[in-house]
Amino acid sequence: MRMIVRKSTKIALRRTSSLYVILLLFFIVLFYFFITKRAMSSLSDKPRQIIFIGGYPRSGTTLMRVLLDVHPMIRCGPETRVIPKLLNLRGQWGTGKESERLKAAGLYPDVIDSAVRSFILSLIINAGETSPVLCNKDPLSFIHLEYMAKIFPDAKFIHMVRDGRAVINSLVKRNVTIRGAPKEIDDRFLAWEIRVSQFIEACNAIGSTRCMTIKYESLVLQPTEVLQTLFKFLDLPWDPVVLHHEKAMNRNALSK
């Protein structure tokens, strides 16, 4: 009987803790949105292009970030690790009891979406110096690619994809863990295949004018051709400086 009570107590504590974290993050986002609304509106008056880089971890997203960051018109800040978590929470708020409770409180999807957008935009803006084009690299944020395209209607998205064998090998060698991912090699490969298929499907749904999939191997073997095509997609001028990014890879602070 004691064991049952202890287990039920632990489950209740976990649920309470999880709910507390969700509510805490939610109120932080809303507080940030309403308090900084005036400041953010002044920033949004200026036309800013936003680029998001994503894909399965160890697929070349960091390389792409550095390549874009050395371009004189682009500032691509460091990985936040916060944006994917926030997007996951937003996904939870959009369904089930949480959605009904929020609506009952007068917090409808458009209000929450505005708060989420403002928070993400602020993270990107405050990650470094002002630049005509801002960029973010949080690989697993692409789990919510179509939602991001909705709240950032003018943004462009770069999906990096790499041979699954190389990805799994890199994850194992670097002892990189992905929350919820299986531990067995065969299962890891299957998880990679499923997730990448989802990313490609979402990228196609957004459309070729807004989302572009780039193979890591092609980028490494044919950098000039691939990057020139990429900059046409981004509607940005070509600059050969992006081909000389080696120094940036060794910098402590990668963004400008």
Q: What is the DSSP annotation of the chain?
A: -HHHHHHHHHHHHHHHHHHHHHHHHHHHHHHHHHHSHHHHHHHHTS--EEEEEEESTTSSHHHHHHHHHTSTTEEE----SSHHHHHHHHHHHTSHHHHHHHHHTT--HHHHHHHHHHHHHHHHHTTSS--SEEEEE-GGGGGGHHHHHHHSTT-EEEEEE--HHHHHHHHHHTT---TT--SSHHHHHHHHHHHHHHHHHHHHHH-TTTEEEEEHHHHHHSHHHHHHHHHHHHT----GGGG--HHHHT-SS---
- Write down the catalytic residue from 79, 100, 201, 225: 79
Look up 79 and say whether it is catalytic. yes
Q: Which residues are catalytic, by number?
A: 79
